[in-house]
Structure formats: C-alpha cells, structure tokens
Amino acid sequence: MTAAGAAAVGKLDGRVAVVTGGARGIGAAYARGLAAEGAAVAVCDVLDPSATVAAVAAAGGRALGMIADVSDRAAVAGLVARTLEAYGRIDALINNAAVLVLRPTPFTEIDPAEWERVMRVNVRGTMECARAVVPAMRAAGYGKIVNVASDTFLRGTPWMLHYVASKGAVIAMTRAMAQELGADGIRVNCIAPGLTMSEAILAVPDGPVKNAAGAVAIRALKRDELPEDLVGAAVFLASADSDFMTGQTLVVNGGASVV
C-alpha cells in the first residue's frame, strides 16, 4: 500500500490454510510462510506441532495444531472439524505429510511392510486430506489444494522405488482431482521439490545428505535447496494469483535437469 503508515496487505489475508506434516522442516516453513502472508493456519503432524504453532504466534500470526495421522480418516476429519470450528472456513490445503525414504534399497529388496507404509501415508494420506476439505471448499465455491510430490519421479531416481512411485501417484492424483473438482471452483496443483536440506535429511548424515553435492552439481543454481525455497510456490498456489491454474506441477529444484 502507498499510504503512509498503512499496513501491508498479505496475499493470503483472510484465508485459512491447513498444512499437514507441519511439525518441522518443509511443512513448518510452509506454515510460517503462509501465516506471514496473512493466512490463519491449522497444522497437523504425527509429531507434536506446537513449536510451529508457537513460531507463527510469535510472529503475530494465527495458528492451531493437532497431532494426526493423515492416513487415518477419523483423525483427518477431526482436524478439519477443529479448523472449521476455530476459523469458519478452509481456503487452502498444503498436502505435505509424507514418509521420507532415507535408506537406499534395491527395489528387489524393499520390505513389503515398508512399501505399504510409504503408500499408506504418501498416497492414501494425500487422498484422505483432500477428500476431507472438499465439502467446505465445495460449499464456498472456491478452494486450493496443493499436493507435494518430488522431482525424484521426474528423474526416475533409483534405489527408492516405493518413494518415487508414491510421489508419481501424487502427481497423477493432482491431475485427476483437478478434473473432478474444477466445476466446484477448487484448484488442485502440485509442488515437486528437489533434494531439500530439511531437518529430517540433516539428521541422517549417512543418508541422502551425502548426495547433496551431486544434487547441487546438476542444478542451474549451484547451492543447497532449503525449506524456505519452497514457500513462494506454496503461497502462489494458495493465493488468488494462481486462480486460472489447475492440474499443474511446479518443479522447484534450482533448475536441475529433468528427463
């Protein structure tokens, strides 16, 4: 605004966003970033999200937190009900919660239980959360669902087939959901990050972090990717700026080559 002393207007003023997997790392960055643009945020995770809620409040924003497994339909329904009770609406969902595969494994050796866990959270959890917010968005005639995939799907990254397959499914679901929900005014888009130096990655020094130099080498922008690098895309997709965009995947990986 140009008037002297007038408060800045955020891109998400008056909006309410649900962020899954928001206790730390990329999800926490999404929650803080959306709140900084004026959104009230509801944060869930299987971990305690209170630190993220406190960070948002300390910066002058509004947030609530809840421990919930995104693959548990009742828990997700509870998150949505609590959000609607607190804020009266849901304008955006950042579908970020996922099982991150940290141990390279040939697909011939993937344990069936681990495969099922990755698919249950990354694929079914994405669907369950989208399913839960649709009634409120449909009633409003407007909404933004932002799914989070990975550039591993685009690159065909080896040694983590269950994770890569799950993120490919997220991109596929994004396209199908967009077609189903367009008539309701609900836009569904996707973010595909590259290898991001989140807390989970940094906590396992003999895991993906050892590949960071290789990831940087194939990027046009020669540095590590940080959680904050993904916030702008999330804000854009949750805001009115992307209102004539649906079914799309934004690749945010510093310009790494993709096949």
Give the single-character DSSP code of 144.
E
**Given 30, 87, 142, 163, which residue is catalytic?**
163
What is the distance between the alpha carbons of residues 98 and 124, in angstroms, rounded to a whole number?
10
From edge to edge, which strands make up the β-sheet containing 143-148?
A: 63-67, 40-45, 16-20, 92-95, 143-148, 186-193, 249-252
Whether 3 has a pLDDT exceeding 60, the answer reads no
What is the distance between the alpha carbons of residues 154 and 157, in angstroms, rounded to a whole number?
8
pLDDT at 214: 82
Provide the residue type at 164 as one letter. Answer: V
What is the distance between the alpha carbons of residues 108 and 150, in angstroms, rounded to a whole number?
22
- In this prediction, residue 27 has a pLDDT band, given cuts at 50, 70 and 90, of very high
- In this prediction, residue 208 has a pLDDT band, given cuts at 50, 70 and 90, of low
**Which tens digits make up the pLDDT trace of 9-21?**
899 999 999 999 9
Phi-psi region of 128 (alpha: psi -120 to 50; beta: other; left: phi over 0): alpha
pLDDT at 199: 82
Average pLDDT over residues 69-76: 98
pLDDT at 103: 87
- CATH domain 16-252 topology: Rossmann fold (3.40.50)
Average pLDDT over residues 168-195: 98
Mean predicted lDDT score pLDDT of the chain = 94
Exposed e or buried b per residue across 188-204, where buried means at least 16 C-beta atoms within 10 angstroms of its C-beta: bbbbbbbbbbbebbeee
Provide the residue type at 106 as one letter. Answer: P
Q: Is 163 a catalytic residue?
A: yes
In this predicted model, which residue has the larger pLDDT, 149 or 257?
149
pLDDT at 133: 98
pLDDT at 209: 63
Q: How many helices (H) and strands (E) does the chain have?
A: 10, 7
- In this prediction, residue 168 has a pLDDT band, given cuts at 50, 70 and 90, of very high
Torsion angle defined by CA atoms of residues 49, 134, 235 and 33, in that order, rounded to the nearest 10 degrees: -10
pLDDT at 5: 43
pLDDT at 259: 55
Counting Cβ atoms within 10 Å, is residue 159 exposed (0-12), middle (13-18) or buried (19+)? middle
Domain ranges across the chain: 16-252
pLDDT at 44: 98
Yes or no: say if 23 and 45 are a contact pair by the CB < 8 Å rule: yes
The structure tokens listed for 177 are 């959901």
**Which tens digits make up the pLDDT trace of 88-114?**
999 999 999 999 988 899 999 999 999
